[in-house]
Structures are given as structure tokens and as C-alpha cells.
């Protein structure tokens, strides 16, 4: 189940070596319009893949859907891909999620490699084996857990990102620190989110990925401790879904950051999470991520979206909360009243 994660100093040589060593009949690349333009030229001509074997789909999470998935299957079928072929997913989390799912299901499963080109993809979607698509208005509603053969991470791609997308990825890094140790939190919270020096990010990135890898290795199918990685996501996914309903879509990491405000409040109220760290984290998130506008008129819809979250084992809403940094408590059920209080706290905290 464990996958190889390589933080590259030379992507071309690392990938070439992998392609030489991995048994395969043919190689295909999946990417999106933005990545095809900005990132693929950085290395494509230096690796042995035919240009006709590159599948380009539309960019954006709204295209992580059944139609795009079917188009990838169709492409692979028309190009003669087999179970012994290899798919290389080059892009952000949308591409590695959808491409991983396409590879895992085409011909009942073919090998695949992820090359995340966004910070969010590198620390979240590309690592850990979760694949899937959005369905029926819900995030990642359909998918499988099936890890890539390898994940190659090169921070050179992050230099193609705007500041918002860098911050989106950093939200998952903040989450990993909160579920790990005080030392991790101190390092991450001290990182300058305004200047965002990508070269100085490398050791933090390596630590963040290692945190996720340790958890996934211990619990690959999310029976217990892997649920820690859902911290901030129960409320965050609801924010993300309603933002699309309102036609004001927000980036995934922003929604998770705002979700962490609400879930840190629940952690403090229900488990005694330290107030000083709560205040510190809320201030950091507010300053870096601003706010997403909601009113009390949205609470019922947000609650409904949370009830549909796939992490719920029962009809109750299931949270991962923290008694302290690294003191993870999974399977925490709360009342509607408590969740509405958390939404009130979010609104008050960000100044809505």
C-alpha cells in the first residue's frame, strides 16, 4: 500500500529512471489546459512519451466530474491502452484525483504516477491513494482508495502559481501541523505567508508530507487514525459546496482554512483545546485567508451538506477534533446547536 514519494532535485532524471524500471506496454499523460500550457513544457520533451498519448481536459474543480472521467476512459480506449499501460497524472488535485480514479478503474486497474504541479496537490490529493470525482453537487462523492506507484514532487512547478493557490495549498500544511506536534505548528505558523519563499518551504513541505505518509501507512483505508486528515474538512467541504451553489466558488484550501476555525471552536468547547492556540490559529487564518460570506440564512443548508459528507458512518455528523495539538479525537458527533454555534464563531472571528 505504501507509495514512493520523491521530492525531486532533478525531475527529469528521477522520472526517466522510474519509466525505465517500471514494467509497462505504453505510457499516457493526463493533464489539464492550464498545466499543459504552463508546466508540461518544463520536462515533456525530455522524457519518452508520444505527444499523441497526452490527454488534455478542461481546468478547474467543476470539471472533476463523470463527463471528464468518461472522456479519459474514451481516450485510453481509443489509443489502445491496456492493463499493462501506465498513466502519468500531471496537474493539481483535480487531475490526480480524477486521473487516479480513471487509472484504477480502466480495464479494472492500470498503474499510474502522480506529478502534482500545485502545492495543494503535493501535500494533499497526490499522496495517500484517495481518488475520485465530484458527483451530485458533493465533493469527491465517488472514488476508490488506490495509491499511485510513485509521486514526484518538484517545487519548480509552484513558481507558476499565483499567491491564492499557494495559500490554498498551505492550508493543508497548517492542518498537518495541528494534528502533529507543537514543534511542527511552531515551524509552520512562523512561515511568512505574505512573502511565500518557495525555496524556504522545502523542509516544511517534506515534514508535512511525512506526517500524512505516517498516518496513511498506519491506516490506509480510513478505519481510524486516517480520519485525522479530515480535520477542518467537514465544515470546509460544506463551505466549498455552498460557494459553488452561490456561484462564488472558493479554492479548496481556503474552505478548509475557514472550516478549521469552526472545528477548532468545537475542539475548544467539547474537548478543551487550548484557548491561546485557538486565538493564534484564528488570527493567522483570518489575516491570510480573509473570509467567505455566510449568514444565518445559510446555516440549514450548510448543515444539510455536512450530513451528506461521506465521512459520516451514521446519520449523525462525524468530526475529527483536537484536545490539543496532536491530541486527535476521531468520531466526534455534535448537535446541530453546537454546529450552529461554530458557524457563529466563524462569522464573529472573520468579521462578518
193: pLDDT strictly greater than 90: yes
Distance CA 214, CA 225 (A): 10
What's the pLDDT band for 310 if we cut at 50, 70, 90?
low
pLDDT at site 144: 95
pLDDT at site 24: 84
Can you read off the three cell numbers belonging to residue 129?
A: 491513494
The helices-and-strands tally (H runs, E runs) of the chain is 13, 10
The DSSP H or E segment spanning 153 is strand 150-153
Whose cell is 512562523? That residue is: 190
Instruction: Delineate the domains of the chain, giving CATH numbers in brackets.
Output: 4-160 (3.40.50.1970), 168-350 (1.20.1090.10)
- Taking CA atoms, 299 is separated from 181, 206, 304, in Å, by 33, 38, 9
**Mean predicted confidence (pLDDT) in 124-147:** 90
Record the pTM: 0.88
Helix (H, G, I), strand (E, B) or coil at 79: coil
pLDDT digits (tens, 9 = 90+) for 163-188: 999 999 999 999 999 999 999 999 99
pLDDT at site 286: 97
Amino acid at each position: 500500500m505504501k507509495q514512493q514519494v520523491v521530492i525531486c532535485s532533478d525531475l527529469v532524471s528521477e522520472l526517466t529512471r522510474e519509466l525505465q524500471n517500471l514494467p509497462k506496454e505504453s505510457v499516457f499523460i493526463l493533464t489539464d489546459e492550464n498545466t499543459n500550457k504552463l508546466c508540461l513544457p518544463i520536462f515533456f520533451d525530455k522524457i519518452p512519451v508520444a505527444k499523441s498519448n497526452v490527454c488534455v481536459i478542461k481546468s478547474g474543480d467543476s470539471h472533476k466530474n463523470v463527463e471528464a472521467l468518461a472522456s479519459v476512459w474514451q481516450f485510453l480506449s481509443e489509443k489502445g491502452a491496456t492493463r499493462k499501460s501506465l498513466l502519468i497524472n500531471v496537474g493539481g488535485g483535480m487531475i490526480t484525483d480524477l486521473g487516479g480514479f480513471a487509472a484504477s478503474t480502466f480495464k479494472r486497474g492500470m498503474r499510474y504516477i502522480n506529478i502534482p504541479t500545485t502545492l495543494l496537490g503535493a501535500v494533499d490529493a497526490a499522496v495517500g491513494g484517495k481518488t475520485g470525482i465530484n458527483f451530485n453537487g458533493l465533493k469527491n462523492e465517488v472514488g476508490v482508495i488506490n495509491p499511485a506507484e510513485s509521486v514526484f514532487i518538484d517545487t519548480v512547478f509552484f513558481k507558476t502559481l499565483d499567491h491564492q493557490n499557494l495559500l490554498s495549498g498551505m492550508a493543508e500544511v497548517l492542518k498537518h501541523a495541528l494534528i502533529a506536534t507543537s514543534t511542527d505548528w511552531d515551524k509552520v505558523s512562523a512561515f511568512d505567508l505574505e512573502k511565500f519563499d518557495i525555496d524556504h518551504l522545502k523542509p516544511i513541505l517534506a515534514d508535512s508530507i511525512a506526517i500524512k505518509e505516517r498516518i496513511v501507512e498506519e491506516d490506509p483505508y480510513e478505519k481510524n487514525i486516517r480520519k485525522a486528515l479530515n480535520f477542518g474538512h467537514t465544515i470546509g467541504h460544506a463551505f466549498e459546496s455552498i460557494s459553488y451553489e452561490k456561484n462564488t466558488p472558493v479554492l479548496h484550501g481556503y474552505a478548509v482554512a475557514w472550516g478549521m476555525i469552526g472545528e477548532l471552536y468545537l475542539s475548544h468547547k467539547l474537548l478543551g483545546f487550548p484557548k491561546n492556540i485557538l486565538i493564534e490559529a484564528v488570527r493567522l487564518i483570518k489575516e491570510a485567508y480573509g473570509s467567505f460570506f455566510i449568514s444565518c440564512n445559510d446555516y440549514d443548508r450548510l448543515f444539510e451538506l455536512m450530513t451528506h459528507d461521506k465521512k459520516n458512518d451514521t446519520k449523525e455528523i462525524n468530526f475529527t477534533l483536537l484536545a490539543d495539538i496532536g491530541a486527535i479525537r476521531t468520531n466526534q458527533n455534535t448537535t446541530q446547536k453546537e454546529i450552529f454555534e461554530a458557524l457563529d464563531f466563524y462569522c464573529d472571528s472573520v468579521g462578518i
